[in-house]
Chain A
Amino acid sequence: MTDAAAPDASPPARAAAAPGRWKRWLLIAIPYCWLLALFLAPFFIVLKISVSDTVIAQPPYEPVLDLSQGWQGIKDWWSALDLENYSALFDDELYLASYLSSLKIATISTLLTLAIAYPMAYGMARAPKSIRPTLLMAVILPFWTSLLIRVYAWIGILNPDGLLNAFLLWARVINEPLYIMNTETAVYIGIVYSYLPFMVLPLYASLEKLDETLLEAAADLGCPPWKAFWKITVPLSLPGVIAGCFLVFIPAVGEFVIPDLLGGSETLMIGKTLYNEFFLNRDWPVSSAIAVLLLLVLVVPIAIYNNIQAREIGDKA
């Protein structure tokens, strides 16, 4: 009798603390399955279509996996796959040039963003505590405004008959209008402008928690301020620098709106090439192959970034 009652004798709180096993699994399963189905599975479909052939049909690719044919259907499907689209990517200079130009533009704009964001974040971290939340808010606010709107705002400024030229001509700084619009310079301005908050926020987070007694100690020991900055502040803010650079670089490589609206036809970027291949040429297999290669280029930075994120959670939890 007592034996049979034993399992129920555990304190009720303990039993309640561990929710039913199936409930726990259900809780995990809902977001897990959603992301598996709508985020991960689509990549395999992209991979599959990137090795299919282009046809003029709906959908515009072949072969389509036909499971009603049974094993024969799978075999036909498998044997018709090839790497033709990938070799096309390497044969045509347009694609390779787009890749390289994307990487170049993303790298340079990440560095430019860092150069503008670091003094800003540093100033914010040194500002009186009372106004810091307001400054932080002021950095975050533009991020809530649509990227499209922010890029559009620059068209009116950079156009040959835009506000910048009107101002500079009026101030007699220049005699001829500057042609910035539809050049790579305009793309740099657009990327730096759009991604600045992503760089400032992690930088500010790491600069704000910097222990000021370290700088005082350095000063007491006769270290000049610039040296203290270089030896103490910069290394301690490095996690913020790294996080910020990833947050700018990765999306910038595949950026579409900025090069499309500001870069004109002469600026090549892979996101734009993919978009045009898909919407203008309706070549789904080739655009899938571009997406796969773009992902391969980005998989290392994304993995590092994910690792940093996950570790940060691990430290705090």
Chain B
Amino acid sequence: MRKGLSGVNIVALTFGFAFLYLPILLLVIYSFNASQLVTVWGGFSTRWYVSLFHNEQLLEAAWVTIRVGLLSATVATVLGTLAAITLVRMGRFPGRTLFSGMVYAPLVMPEVITGLSMLLLFVAIGLDRGFITLALAHITFSMCFVAVVVQSRLISFDRSLEEAALDLGCTPFKTFFVITLPIILPAIVSGWMLAFTLSIDDLVISQFTTGPGATTLPMRIYSSVRLGVKPEINAVCTILIAIVTTGVIIASIATKRAENERMKAERAAAAGR
């Protein structure tokens, strides 16, 4: 793989990335279209963005979405980190296979099944559907994604640091907070972001598990999309894309920087030795 890019490779990459980005790009461009018609370009305008802020239903849904996202991402990050530690550090324990199955299965489980089964659980235990059930469902599927992200960081890190701290008389509790947590923190942060994004993006599981008064933004978008393409929806989607993209890019730059710092520190430590 040393020969660098050939013409064929460049064509494949160009085609692939055009396929990935062109539809999103067109959606963003047409959100600034002055015309009501989707295919006719009527000049640049921000009127659809203005009308968004007068749409009470959408604003209300956005607020619900953000609240569910913040709550579920935070709980899912704690549970997912615990699950990752259990998988990587706890060795063998009875029921380990079942546990790892329960962590990986939700990653590929069709959403209709997850949604239906959770709804039936909430009905069976008599929990009223609404904000709480929505958050419980989101926590459950997103904690597994957090677990996978944190787990890969836990696997790759140098355990001798922890052992050194323990040998010097540090308690396991303190070792975790002083040594382990700072090292896996970038993974935990990206786990949180992933959980938050999954929560604010989810449609199907939310449809099943929600109740009156807890309509999320994707649910609102879905019901208007069924009636056809509307410039206003393009505007909402563009805002969501912008938020997510900025967040992901900032996070990746921050992670990269933290990584470089750490490498530098490690090199310095090695040279000092």
Contacts and interface: CB of A to CB of B under 8 A. Distances in A.
Given A28-B93, A126-B3, A159-B38, A149 B241 contact: yes
Interface string A98-141: 00000000000000000011011011111110000101011111
Contact of B171 (A16, A197, A257, A287): A16
Interface stretch (A1-9, A34-42, A72-80, A84-92): A34-42
Interface of B is mostly: helix
B24 interface: yes
B169 to A, nearest CB: 6
B1 A215 contact: yes
Given A150-B24, A313-B155, A145 B39 contact: no
Nearest to B10: A123
Interface in B150-165: 151, 155-156, 163
Contacts of B9: 119, 122-123, 126-127
A212 B1 contact: yes
A254 B111 contact: yes
Most chain A CB inside 10 Å of its own CB: which residue of B16, B101, B102, B106: B16
A34 B82 CA distance: 11
Interface string B103-122: 11110111111001110110
A146 B110 contact: no
A8 to B, nearest CB: 15
Q: Point out which of B21, B112, B166, B208 has the most chain A C-beta atoms below 10 A from its C-beta.
A: B112
B38 A162 contact: yes
A39 B106 contact: yes
A291 B117 contact: yes
Interface in A292-317: 294-295, 298, 302-303, 305-306, 309-310, 313, 316-317
A146 B252 CA distance: 19
A163 B26 contact: yes
Contacts of B113: 46, 254, 274, 291, 294-295
A123 B5 contact: yes
Interface residue tally on A, bucketed by range: 35 or more
A226 B82 CA distance: 47
Contacts of A210: 1
A27 B256 CA distance: 31
A53 B26 CA distance: 49
A196 interface: yes
Contact of A45 (B82, B121, B233): B121
B203 to A, nearest CB: 5
B203 A257 contact: yes
Given A31-B143, A146-B201, A313 B87 contact: yes
B82 A31 contact: yes
A63 interface: no
A196 B15 CA distance: 13
Q: Secondary structure of the A side of the interface? A: helix
A148 B221 contact: yes
B237 interface: yes
Contact of A302 (B109, B123, B136, B156): B109
Nearest to A298: B110
Given A162-B38, A313-B87, A120 B116 contact: no
B79 interface: yes
A239 to B, nearest CB: 16
A16 B155 contact: no
Contacts of B123: 59
B272 interface: no
A12 B165 CA distance: 12
B132 interface: no
Given A27-B82, A34-B143, A253 B229 contact: no
A144 B117 contact: no
B140 interface: yes
B24 A45 contact: no
Interface string B1-35: 11111101110110111011101101100100000
A207 B1 CA distance: 9
Given A43-B117, A146-B201, A274-B112, A156 B1 contact: no
Contacts of A291: 112-113, 116-117
Nearest to B226: A261
A35 B203 contact: no
A99 to B, nearest CB: 13
A95 interface: no
21 contacts: A27-B82, A27-B85, A31-B99, A34-B143, A42-B121, A123-B16, A128-B5, A142-B21, A150-B23, A152-B27, A153-B23, A159-B38, A193-B20, A200-B16, A251-B108, A254-B112, A256-B110, A271-B112, A294-B110, A306-B100, A317-B155
Given A145-B201, A147-B201, A291-B117, 4 more contacts: A34-B143, A212-B1, A212-B2, A294-B110
